[in-house]
Amino acid sequence: MEKEIIDLRSDTVTLPTEEMLEAIKHAKLGDDVFGEDPTVNELESLAAQKMGKDAALLVTSGTQANLVSLVSNTKRGDGVILEAESHVFYYEVGGLSAIGGLVPITIKGNMGVLDPKDIEAAIRPKDIHFPETTVVAIENTHNRAGGTITTPDQIRAISEVAKARGLKLYMDGARIFNAAVALKTDVKNFTKHVDNMMFCLSKGLSCPVGSIVVGDHQFVERARRVRKMLGGGMRQAGIIAAPGIIALEKMVDRLEEDHRNARLLAEGLAKVNGIKVDMRIVQTNIVKFDVSDLGVTSGTFVFMLSKRGVLSLPFSERDIRMVTHRGIEKEHIEKALAVIEDIAYDVRSKKVN
Ligand code: TLP
């Protein structure tokens, strides 16, 4: 019998549903660079409406969405304020500088949330020496902080500072639906205070490909040109858009289940001798935990887990990240916890190495 793999590396590993595959097969197609793919047009207007913005643009990935958006909000040489461990700064190959010509101005958040006072302090005055700071970018939920939420009130406070100083507020909302479901509130409550944003159709919403950028008409028009410049103009992209429509209509509410499983996992981990979990940051579908008290690096622990069929990612020397998603059931969490307990026991009793 094949060994069962419990893949907790990321919600990016989710596969499309049967209904999505059927929708791909039957999607009405056209050339989207000419604006003629009816399925893309339908998805973009549905997305704009759900997010409460004028217009939307389908792009290939979250990374492309962030780059297209930042470039569309700025001119070369501008400064962008963002969280020190934000995805844009940490995981996007430096694209904002290498391609966008932008200067990152990083500030440390509190559990991923930026303090308006720190933003205020980071905005440099107009001076011939300084890059002009034109955008504040927040990440919601915040990946490296452990899936933490910036609440609608916190976004409003950030937006007030940005507006007062004439800056645009952009949100990397790759997992914004996780935030909305966790707080049991309409996603528009998160989007109404930002000028523009992106969210991912892949990840928890289970689409095979795609992210969406939303904002006002002028911004999205510019974003469409920048996407084309980056080689992201797609032709019969309806095959990507078709599952996106299903994702927006049917896959959001089930994120609740991922959050329940993440909590179950975190509570179980917290009981294991030598593992530390900060329960304050367990807010959505990401669980970050510290294995340093076991006397092993996260890399070693992740490797030992993988040999027993439980996949995760090292997040730092001491931290490991696990992510729940469609396809991970309560039973998988229980099995994963049993494996983790076993390995932690072996490590503690020096039965390994
Ligand atoms: N994050 C991936 C990895 O790149 C780390 C993951 O497994 O979590 N913004 C945020 C907040 C993200 O978490 C990600 C993906 C992206 C943007 C980029 O999306 P993709 O992978 O579609 O380029």
End-to-end CA distance of the chain: 28
Residues 6+ apart with CB under 8 A from 195: 73, 168, 169, 170, 215, 216, 219
Please tell me the distance from the alpha carbon of residue 313 to that of residue 252, in angstroms, as a whole number: 25
pLDDT in tens, 148-170: 999 999 999 999 999 999 999 99
Looking at residue 73, its pLDDT comes to 98
Q: Is the dihedral of CA 287, 248, 200, 306 positive or negative?
A: positive
CATH no., domain 18-250: 3.40.640.10
Q: Is 90 in the pocket of ligand 1 (CB under 6 A)?
A: no
Q: Whose CA is nearest to atom 5 of ligand 1?
A: 91
Please tell me the distance from the alpha carbon of residue 104 to that of residue 308, in angstroms, as a whole number: 41
Q: CA of 63: how far to CAs of 1, 59, 89, 199, in Å?
A: 38, 9, 11, 11
- Cβ proximity of 60 and 212 under 8 Å: no
State residue 255 phi and psi, 5-degree precision.
Answer: -60, -25
Looking at residue 350, its pLDDT comes to 81
Equal fold, 6-12+254-348 vs 18-250: no
CA–centroid distance, 63 to ligand 1, in Å, is 7
State which ligand 1 atom lies nearest to the alpha carbon of 63: 23
Looking at residue 353, its pLDDT comes to 52
State residue 152 phi and psi, 5-degree precision.
Answer: -55, -40
State residue 86 phi and psi, 5-degree precision.
Answer: -65, 155
Looking at residue 339, its pLDDT comes to 98
Looking at residue 3, its pLDDT comes to 79
Looking at residue 110, its pLDDT comes to 98
Length of the chain: 353
Please tell me the distance from the alpha carbon of residue 234 to that of residue 133, in angstroms, as a whole number: 32
- Give me the residue label for tokens 């179980």: 268
User: Which segments of the chain does DSSP mark as H helices, in order?
Assistant: 18-26, 38-51, 62-73, 87-91, 95-98, 116-122, 152-164, 176-182, 188-191, 217-229, 238-250, 255-270, 298-307, 330-348
Which residues of the chain are under the pLDDT cut of 70?
1, 351-353
> Could you say which architecture CATH assigns to the domain 6-12+254-348?
Alpha-Beta Complex (3.90)
Burial per residue of 162-174, b for 16 or more beta-carbon CB atoms within 10 angstroms, e otherwise: beeeebbbbbbbb
The residues that bridge with 321 in the sheet, in sequence order, are 288, 313
The structure tokens listed for 28 are: 């009405």
The structure tokens listed for 144 are: 């490296």
- Cβ proximity of 171 and 155 under 8 Å: yes
State which ligand 1 atom lies nearest to the alpha carbon of 86: 11
Q: Is 10 in the pocket of ligand 1 (CB under 6 A)?
A: yes
Q: Is the dihedral of CA 229, 63, 172, 206 positive or negative?
A: positive
State which ligand 1 atom lies nearest to the alpha carbon of 139: 11
Q: Where are the domains of the chain?
A: 6-12+254-348, 18-250
Looking at residue 1, its pLDDT comes to 58
